[in-house]
Amino acid sequence: MSAGHVVGRLGEAGPMSAAEVLSAAGRYVVYRVVCSKEQVMSQTLQGVEIAGLNEAFEGYVERGERRVLAGGAVPGDRVDLRIVASSQHHPRDFAEVASVHARGADYVEPICAHAGPVRGRCGGCPGMHLSHDLRTETLQRRVAQLAERLGCEWSWHEAPAHLGYRNRSNFVVTRQGALVVLGSYAPRSQEISAMAGCQVVQPAIARVHGELEALLSALKVPVGEEEEGLRWVSLRASAQAVVVELVVRDALASWLDAAVVAIAAVEGVQGVAITVNARDTNAIRVQDSQVVQGKGRIWERYGEVELGIDPGAFAQLNVAVASAMYRQVARWAEGAQVVWDLYCGIGGLGLNVAARRPEVRLFGAESVPAAIASARENAARAGIKARYAVVDLGKEGWREGCPGEGPQARPELIVVNPPRKGLSRAVRQVLGAPQALGASTLIYMSCDVSSFGRDAAELQERGWVLRELQAHDMLPQTTHVELLGRFERSS
């Protein structure tokens, strides 16, 4: 780590040259560098034993009143730690494992050659070096603490497969010599790690990934910041096919036509799409994708419903786990005839509630017009009568975009699946008056423990009771936990 990447204040070192850096992982605030690389690297803890593991899968030791965190270490490891940064605001130091004297019982050699921080620099699987029991115990501890605060029962649900499950992956494009590499940013860095042979993506994605690297290298495609550069490649797979999405700086790039034809000829590729992003931004997509070769929509069965998924659309990355959660929601929803699906996306959650239940009157709301169009098509394909509307759920007055009269006006059940930031304030305010809505049950699917905890606490203050909480291992090898909560209106 260079001096320019050090975050925070280090030990008792005197002030040196100042620089600032913002963590790409979003876990650290901006700190001022106050020591040189040589001074940083000189602070080494020798022969220490890792005492525990935090929620981010970092091993730690206690050093006086400060905690030293080290990625790639597990409890029981005896290691030398090189401190690289310190927090000004919390009693924490950050370290790298300089050498290993002995490994603890819960250390597992990662199966992937790129898995950082033990073997490579890819940060996509921070738990690959942990035993299954330790990783599960660490995740469960977070859920248990949440359930205790909320006063509810909870259960843990394993993923059926811990490798080869991911149906989509985004790769940043770079060059190493004459070779084009589809990789990922290393944690808290702009350095790009190779991802060839990734173990968590579906095998079809891994195969097409390798062929694309060879093809793009042979075509000498410009990459990244280069003129007409290819910035990102996104691969989405179903059981039958793969769709390739290219994020380009220029839709009229001179290399693009030849590359699209060549990519479409790769075995298993059913379509190629492009989207233009010439902005200096961390966002991958800033415009809708356009299919330029073959078919861009893939079909995948989630639970009891087959969903059409377009390039750029959101769909759950683990079909097996998402299907189990959708089926659970459908069981919880038995008896409800008027259902609202808020943040409905392409319709998967609500359509599973209505599948094989012709008496259900389903309404779905979502702010993305393309997603609503897909939801309507998915409902029609499944033979389900549903009404959908484009509604900005982040704005006050969003309720006016939902049915105000007729058979769908007063839902018995509301299902929500918001983005990582959770329910908007405007939605929380409306849901906070359950008797006015008429709903007696609320089912909440969440991809973030923290935002779910905030929303659940507020909902319970406003007349809802969390009766049951499920935690699902949606993305094995990662720190991610997917939650499913069933709320009932308080009497």
Asked whether the predicted pLDDT for residue 345 surpasses 50, the reply is: yes
Q: What was the pLDDT predicted at 42?
A: 52
Query: Which is it for the CA torsion 174, 179, 180, 184, positive or negative?
Result: negative
Q: What pLDDT, in 10s, does the model give residues 85-106? A: 999 999 999 999 999 999 999 9
**Is 343 annotated for ligand binding?**
yes
Query: Which is it for the CA torsion 327, 55, 161, 197, positive or negative?
Result: positive
Helix (H) or strand (E) holding 78: strand 78-86
Which token pair is 230?
């290819």
What are the residues whose beta carbons fall under 8 Å from the beta carbon of 323, sequence distance 6 or more? 301, 302, 303
**Is 191 annotated for ligand binding?**
no
Asked whether the predicted pLDDT for residue 276 surpasses 80, the reply is: yes
* Bond into 117 cis (ω within 30): yes
**Is 326 annotated for ligand binding?**
no
Which of the two residues, 21 and 192, has the higher pLDDT score? 192
What mean pLDDT comes out for the span 51-59? 97
The alpha carbon torsion through 282, 286, 291, 292 (nearest 10 deg) reads -80
> How confident is residue 30, by pLDDT bands cut at 50, 70 and 90?
very low
**Backbone angle region of 274, left / alpha / beta, with phi > 0 → left and psi within -120 to 50 → alpha:** beta
Fold adopted by 3-102: OB fold (Dihydrolipoamide Acetyltransferase, E2P) (2.40.50)
> How confident is residue 460, by pLDDT bands cut at 50, 70 and 90?
very high
What are the residues whose beta carbons fall under 8 Å from the beta carbon of 17, sequence distance 6 or more? 3, 33, 36
Residue 216 phi, psi dihedral angles, 5° rounding: -65, -30
CA pair distance 21, 24, nearest whole angstrom: 9
Domain 3-102 identical in fold to domain 168-300: yes
Q: What pLDDT, in 10s, does the model give residues 461-470? A: 999 999 999 9
Kindly give the pairing relationship between strand 58-63 and strand 52-53: antiparallel
User: Nearest-CA neighbor of 123 among 476, 475, 448, 478?
Assistant: 478
CATH number of 168-300: 2.40.50.1070
Which of the two residues, 9 and 339, has the higher pLDDT score? 339
Q: What was the pLDDT predicted at 15?
A: 32
CA 220, 224, 225: angle at the middle one, nearest 5? Answer: 110
Percentage of the chain beyond pLDDT 90 is 84
Cβ atoms 259, 219 nearer than 8 A = yes
Q: What pLDDT, in 10s, does the model give residues 324-334? A: 999 999 999 99
What mean pLDDT comes out for the span 192-221? 96
What mean pLDDT comes out for the span 357-361? 95
Asked whether the predicted pLDDT for residue 1 surpasses 60, the reply is: no
**Is 165 annotated for ligand binding?**
no
For the ranges 172-176, 206-210, 237-241, the lowest mean pLDDT is seen at 237-241
Asked whether the predicted pLDDT for residue 284 surpasses 80, the reply is: yes
CA pair distance 216, 253, nearest whole angstrom: 14
Q: What was the pLDDT predicted at 180?
A: 97
Asked whether the predicted pLDDT for residue 8 surpasses 80, the reply is: no
Q: Which residues are catalytic?
A: 447
Q: What was the pLDDT predicted at 4?
A: 33
The model's pTM is 0.89
According to DSSP, residue 329 is labeled H
CA pair distance 486, 336, nearest whole angstrom: 14
Asked whether the predicted pLDDT for residue 336 surpasses 70, the reply is: yes
- Please name every residue paired with 71 in a beta bridge, in sequence order, or none if there are none: 58
Fold adopted by 144-159+318-489: Rossmann fold (3.40.50)
Average pLDDT over the chain, rounded to an integer: 90
Helix (H) or strand (E) holding 453: helix 449-461
Which of the two residues, 3 and 379, has the higher pLDDT score? 379
Q: What pLDDT, in 10s, does the model give residues 365-403? A: 999 999 999 999 999 999 999 999 999 999 999 999 999
Cβ atoms 184, 115 nearer than 8 A = no
Q: What was the pLDDT predicted at 394?
A: 95
Percentage of the chain beyond pLDDT 70 is 91
Which token pair is 15?
């002030």
CA 106, 107, 110: angle at the middle one, nearest 5? Answer: 135
Query: Which is it for the CA torsion 119, 27, 188, 447, positive or negative?
Result: positive
Residue 380 phi, psi dihedral angles, 5° rounding: -65, -40
CA pair distance 119, 396, nearest whole angstrom: 49
Asked whether the predicted pLDDT for residue 263 surpasses 70, the reply is: yes
Q: What was the pLDDT predicted at 43?
A: 87
Could you state, in order of their start, the residue ranges of all structural domains in the chain?
Answer: 3-102, 144-159+318-489, 168-300
Asked whether the predicted pLDDT for residue 363 surpasses 60, the reply is: yes
Question: Using DSSP, how many helices (H) and how many strands (E) does the chain show?
Answer: 10, 25
Give the C-alpha distances (Å, rounded to integers) separating 36 from 33, 69, 95, 98: 8, 20, 15, 18
CA pair distance 297, 182, nearest whole angstrom: 23
Cβ atoms 366, 379 nearer than 8 A = no
Give the C-alpha distances (Å, rounded to integers) separating 210 from 59, 114, 205, 206, 223: 34, 15, 9, 6, 17
Asked whether the predicted pLDDT for residue 417 surpasses 70, the reply is: yes
What are the residues whose beta carbons fall under 8 Å from the beta carbon of 42, sequence distance 6 or more? none
- Please name every residue paired with 443 in a beta bridge, in sequence order, or none if there are none: 415, 486
